[in-house]
Chain A
Amino acid sequence: MPAGVKWVREMVAEYNPDANTIVTDAGQRLQYDYLVVATGCHLDFAQIEGMDVNAIGRNGVGSVYPGPKAANETWRSMDAFRQRGGKAVMTLPGTPIKCAGAPLKTTFMLIDRMRQSGTLERSEIVFHSALGVVFGVPTLNEMILERWAEANVPVVFSSKLVAIDISGHKATFENPDGERTVEDYDFIHVVPPMRAPDALFNSPLAWQEGPMAAGGWLEVDRETLRHRRYPNVFGVGDINGTPRGKTAATVKQSVPLVVSNLIDVIAGRDPSRRFNGYTSCPMILREGSAWLIEFDYDGKLIPSLPLVDPLQDSWFAWLMKVQLLKPAYMAVAKGRV
């Protein structure tokens, strides 16, 4: 922690932006002149009836989202499944999610691992998307669907995971008309719906109307990342109610911008820097190959390395993912970039 910063190790329980205060879960009331909100997403597993996060790694249940331990447990489940083969059900919720590529990478990796184990031919993998697409960038959505069609992975659109019977290995999906279907599975990858953490969700800082209101996301201007109604509040990262942008790469790009806009505001100027929504997601296609995808709010591809073609299956992209992203995140975490 840099010198001069007091780290209050308590969670924010309440935001009172009209009084410029927050209240912590220990009951401490803190006054602020300026506030930067960076509280990330809440993984709303509770929206899936019967789901138990502690079951990840057992009974064929996987979910890479809750953290490194869950990711390891998911791999254990997946590894056991790919040796035997059977039926895998992969899911995608209808809410904005962090790293929207993760459910797709997991599917690509499962296909690859099963191919390596020789169990792909006698197995079934089905992908349920609660949306009408699997990825928000149209070109990439098409390319992914083509790959899955080649690998015999059907996609059921507008199909939301609403319940799971863990011991019975059954998943219930609902379409927008409220019709329910039940899928048996041997392995399931559960991706939870996501929303703002409770304190923000229930506060005046959340979007009050529009598509972001349901998730209670922070109501920031998508370009300045300044709150649209409370000008002394800024947002960084997954909590922002902006289109796309729920990746660590977004955090890396937007932190310097928020800092300089905040300095502008403190100095009595208008925020001078504008964010393009930079989002990046190395899409692993198989062991040894990936796409290095970077795009803006409008879904336009904006590669940072001018010679790299984001739509090429690439060993270099794989190299970046497995060797160079961790050092990049370390540099970000240390506040140097």
Chain B
Amino acid sequence: MSFYEVWLAVNIVWEYLMANLPVIIILLVAIAFLFGIAVVKGSPAWRKGLRVGILGGIVVALVSIFIIPSVIDSKLSDLNYWVDWANLFAIAGIWGAIGAVMLWPVGAMFVSRD
């Protein structure tokens, strides 16, 4: 892979993010808000909350596998070979990670420290 191809990939991702800026801002604000609440509420259980976040993230990733194809006007049955599946899993993984980050402070607020 040449430097040009890496630069091209970076630019595609950048333009993609810019085209979806409202969604990204909403997600960032929501994440900041949830972490803020967790801190303000006092004594969040970050370690235990992380467990909740990871479990929640896995659920979000699994659900995303079924939802993502329909979001781009396609069906799960359109996936044909390993490259398709690898990409679907990668995208689902990204949503799972976002879900985990959002659920972490939620878990930290509601799970008891002991």
- List residues of A whose CB falls within 8 A of some B CB: 256, 287-289, 304, 307-309, 312-316, 318-319, 322-324, 326-328, 330-331, 336-337
Sample (8) of A-B pairs whose CB atoms are under 8 Å apart: A287-B73, A309-B81, A312-B80, A313-B80, A316-B83, A326-B19, A328-B12, A337-B4
A-facing residues in B7-30 (Cβ within 8 Å) = 7-8, 11-16, 18-19
Q: Which of B14, B78, B87 contacts A331 (CB 8 A)?
A: B14
Question: Within 8 Å of chain A (Cβ to Cβ): is B74?
Answer: yes
Alpha-carbon gap, A323 to B79, bound state (A): 16
A337 surroundings in chain B (CB, below 8 A): 4, 7-8, 11
The answer to whether B75 touches A288 (Cβ under 8 A) is: yes
Of all chain B residues, the one with the shortest Cβ separation from A322 is: B72
B residues 38-82 touching A (CB-CB < 8 Å): 69, 72-75, 78-81
Measured CB to CB, the nearest residue on chain A to B82 is: A307
User: Across the interface, do B15 and A328 meet the contact criterion of CB distance under 8 Å?
Assistant: yes
Q: How far is the CB of B22 from chain A (nearest CB, A)?
A: 16
Partner pick for A288 among B5, B16, B74, CB 8 A cutoff: B74
Inter-chain contact A289/B74, CB cutoff 8 Å: yes
A309 CB contacts on chain B under 8 angstroms: 81, 83
Does B94 have its Cβ within 8 Å of any Cβ on chain A? Answer: no
Which B residue's beta carbon lies closest to that of A289?
B78
Q: How far is the CB of A136 from chain B (nearest CB, A)?
A: 25
The B interface is mostly helix, strand or loop, or mixed, namely helix
Q: Say whether, besides A304-B5, A331-B11, A287 and B83 are in contact (CB < 8 Å).
A: no
Cα of A21 to Cα of B71 in the assembled complex, Å = 52
Query: Please, how many residues of chain B have a CB less than 8 angstroms from a CB on the other chain?
Result: 25
* A210 to B78 CA separation, bound complex (whole angstroms): 45
B15 and A314 contacting across the interface, CB-CB below 8 Å? no
Q: State how many angstroms separate the Cβ of A147 from the closest Cβ of chain B.
A: 14
Are A319 and B87 closer than 8 Å at their CB atoms? yes
Chain A residues with CB under 8 Å of B14's CB are 327, 331
Known: A289-B74, A318-B72. A330 touches B15 (CB 8 A): yes
In addition to A315-B80, A331-B12, 4 A-B residue pairs with Cβ atoms within 8 Å of each other are A256-B4, A313-B80, A316-B84, A318-B78
CA distance A190 to B19 in the complex (A): 33
Closest 10 CB pairs of A and B: A288-B74, A327-B15, A288-B78, A331-B11, A315-B84, A327-B16, A330-B15, A315-B78, A315-B79, A316-B87
Assembled-state Cα–Cα distance A324/B17 (Å): 11
Closest chain B CB from A158 CB (angstroms): 34
Interface centre among B13, B15, B74, B87 (most CB of A within 10 A): B15
Taken together as a complex, chains A and B put the C-alpha atoms of A248 and B87 apart, in Å, by 25
A324 touching B74 by the CB < 8 A rule? no
Is B11 touching A336 in the complex (CB atoms < 8 A)?
yes
Is residue B88 within 8 Å, beta carbon to beta carbon, of the partner chain?
yes
User: For the complex, what is the distance from the CA of A289 to the CA of B19, rounded to whole Å?
Assistant: 23
